[in-house]
Structure 1
Amino acid sequence: MRLPAFLLALAFFASVLVASAQAPLRLPAGTHRVPFEWLSSSTPAGPEPHAALLLPVVLPGCPERLYLQFDLGAPHTILYTDAVAGLRARHPRSLPAPDSAGRLRAFAFRLGTMAVEAPSIGLKDYDTSGAGPRIIGTAGSDLVAGRIVAIDYPGRALVFGDSLPAPLRAGDMTPLVWAAGRVLLPAVVQGRETMLFFDTGSSAFPLLTDSMQAAALSTRGAAMVSYPVRSWGRTLTANQAASADSITIGHRRLPLRTVTWMGGVPSAQVEGMRRMGIGGMTGNALFSGSVLVLDLKAKQFAVLPAGAPDRPATGSGHNRKR
């Protein structure tokens, strides 16, 4: 389980993050449903069924079952250097050779049945050894930039389309902030309005916040369980407790079940985020029973109950922009 975006978010608001240049991914028009799978894990706090959200990736001429982790905390989609080298050794035609800058050019692949073209994609060193699903990279926020996507958590699918799902109207949506490839969602936590980073890479955590807020949201008498978490080569300490509280987001009140704060993050950076109105971060677990619709064309979103239509419309819908 990785938490790269928590550190990236802190760095961004500390004016340290510098966005790297990378051509956007190219997706086809129309409606496309991409199934996903959950990676589960075992932690000292108990079993975690939502440790990571994995998208099946299909490479040309490669019969292996491969995945990208869906991580909106990463601004760009990347592949892991060792994974690429191994795949090229086993299936030479599945991937182009890296150029002198260590990038893959004109790289085409599929997510489920949806064709994706990456004019240029970067490589990053990351340890891919060990058992479990073969994860060869990270699908970053460039996958959804400027697009409409419904994350159907109960149906385990990402649904890409040209306009909003048919029952939704622009007036049903809530404004969000889309900045430097990061999604921030307005929320109400203990009666206070705040903004939360939405990070699918911090998948298992309904709410990552500071230690004081975590204590206030914890169930009275609940034990705080601490355990190490790796974040792109750095080790942080997750401090997690049960919570009977809930937060309001997208006009819906969602139960937390757990609340977490991270040890190893400088207090000055946490305080800086608080002063800017950033109350923390939320991951996939908060929405596990919902459909989250992100319209990153119009910078708005909605949280729908399980069973609600998730399929964005095609054709000349009111929200279509070409």
Structure 2
Amino acid sequence: MSKLFKIFITLFITFLILSFAGWHTFNYYWRTKSTVSTFSNFTEPDSLSFSEIIWREGNFGNIKTEIGSFFVKVELNGVNDSFYMQFDTGAPQTVLYGRKLNKLKEKYPNLSPATNDSGKEYFKDAQLKIGDIILETDYLRILPEMGSAEIDSAFNIIGTIGFDAILDRKLILDFRNDKITITNQDVKDLNYSFDLVNGVSLKRFPILLPAQVDDENVNLFYDTGSSMFSLILPPNKLSNMDNSQTIDTLCCISAWGKSLEFYRRKLNSDIKIGKIIENQPDIYAASSMNPYSYFPNWVMMGVTGNQMFLNKVLLIDTKNNIFGISD
């Protein structure tokens, strides 16, 4: 056996070991650790109860979009005062915004946070009502620096609903009619006809969808909080996209209280998820995606938002690992 061949075999085995270790770390450690069962009690009526999807505009640089993010109206512990929460499958855990809560407690003392032994605030015995659906938990995390300290008579954003709200349940996102529901009802009774996407992974955070990007088989993280994007990548992966045009620098977009510089590049081929094809889309990158640069594309290439699913109905069944798309 030649020395060169031995070096090749050694490098190949090392690559396999590192790939396996990376996949194991991502799939069995990070995903398991990030999957939180927050809501012990879930109540719904006998028939499906939908709530309205409220879109809010977004912008990056001088580019504006009408689908920057979407919200649902909620009641918190029986209080109904124009409360809204962003619906974000890209967040592992449902959270409330501390600055908003501390302002609201002046008007609603029953919304006052509790304090744990280490001095951190949390919301005790929370009940979230979304339409006729009720989610209950002993403990909701509070992000102390998030939210506005002002009260808006029409639209008060009090937090984010995360993946934990749909864990072991079914989510229907009806982007045709801008409505949403969470349910435990049997899929066969939902009066929809879905084309199922094979090879999905939905039982743990994050939601992973198999896709083809520039004819490469990859996995994409489905994040409803990244509404406007067909694909967001780490900057190094965007740079390595050969079948694409020059990179534009865009400034800026706001995410979780931070201003991020974005990059854009037009793909000369397509993105495909199930039967949906996005022809030659703009794709993007941000430094916030850098942690994903270490994953091979077959593990997780990047993030897809709602752009590819507009005018569709989605079924996301995390209990039975079913992802369906209805035209």
Q: TM-score, normalised by structure 2?
A: 0.76
RMSD of equivalent CA atoms: 3.1
> Structure 2: which 5+ runs fail to align?
1-24
Do the aligned residues in 2 keep the contact of 1:237 with 1:264 (CA within 8 Å)? no
Asked whether 1:100 is paired with 2:135, we answer no
Query: CA distance change for structure 1 residues 146 and 255 in 2, over 3 Å: closer, same or farther?
Result: farther
What are the residue-to-residue correspondences of 1:232-311 with 2, within 5 Å?
232-243=256-267, 245-255=269-279, 257-263=281-287, 266=290, 269-274=291-296, 277-305=299-327
1:277 is matched by which residue type in structure 2? Answer: V
Residue 182 of structure 2 corresponds to 160
The answer for the alignment partner of 2:171 in structure 1 is: 149
- Report what 2:199 is aligned to: 175
Hey, what does 1:46 align to over in structure 2?
63
| Cα contact 2:60–2:250 (8 A) shared by 1 | no
Query: For the structure 1 residues 103 and 304, does the alpha-carbon distance in structure 2 shift closer, same or farther, using more than 3 Å as the test?
Result: same
Quickly say closer, same or farther: Cα 1:42–1:115, change in 2 above 3 A.
Answer: same
> How far apart are 1:152 and its partner, in Å?
0.8
8 Å Cα contact 1:175/1:299 also seen in 2: no
Partner of 1:74: 91
1 CA distance for matches of 2:115 and 2:149?
28
The 1-side partners of 2:175 and 2:139 are apart by 30
Do the aligned partners of 2:74 and 2:80 also contact (CA within 8 Å) in 1?
A: no
How far off is 1:32 after superposition? 2.2
In structure 1, what is the equivalent of residue 14 of structure 2?
none
Cα displacement (A) at 1:240: 2.1
Aligned residue for 2:100, secondary structure, equals helix
Give the Å deviation of 1:84: 1.4
Counterpart position of 1:310: none
Match of 2:100 in 1: 83
Relative to structure 1, is the Cα distance of residues 276 and 243 closer, same or farther in structure 2, using a 3 angstrom cutoff?
A: closer
Residue 83 of structure 1 aligns to a residue whose secondary structure is helix
Shift of residue 107 of structure 1? 1.5
Is the 8 Å Cα contact of residues 34 and 114 (structure 1) preserved in structure 2? no
Q: Which runs of 5 or more residues in structure 1 are unaligned? A: 1-11, 306-322
Equivalent residues of 2:59, 2:253 under 8 A apart: no
State the percentage of identical aligned residues: 20
Q: Which amino acid aligns with 1:254?
A: E
**DSSP-derived class of the 1:65 partner:** strand
* Residue 250 (structure 1) shift: 2.2
Mapped contact 2:36–2:164 kept (Cα < 8 A): no
- In terms of fraction of residues, the more helix-rich structure is 2
Q: Higher mean Cα deviation, 281-290 or 61-70?
A: 61-70
**Cα deviation per residue 1:47-97 (whole Å; 9 max; x = unaligned)?**
11111111111235534211111111221111011111111111223x254
1:119 counterpart = 2:138: yes
Q: Relative to structure 2, which stretch is displaced further, 288-297 or 251-260?
A: 251-260
| Alignment TM-score, normalising by the size of structure 1 | 0.77
Q: 1:41 to 1:299 in 2, by over 3 A?
A: same
Offset of 1:156 from its aligned partner? 1.0
Point out which structure has higher relative CO (alpha carbons under 8 A, 6+ apart). Answer: 1
Query: Do the aligned partners of 1:200 and 1:284 also contact (CA within 8 Å) in 2?
Result: yes
CA deviations on 1:263-299 (whole Å, 9 max, x unpaired) are 3654xx4442126531111012221221121111111
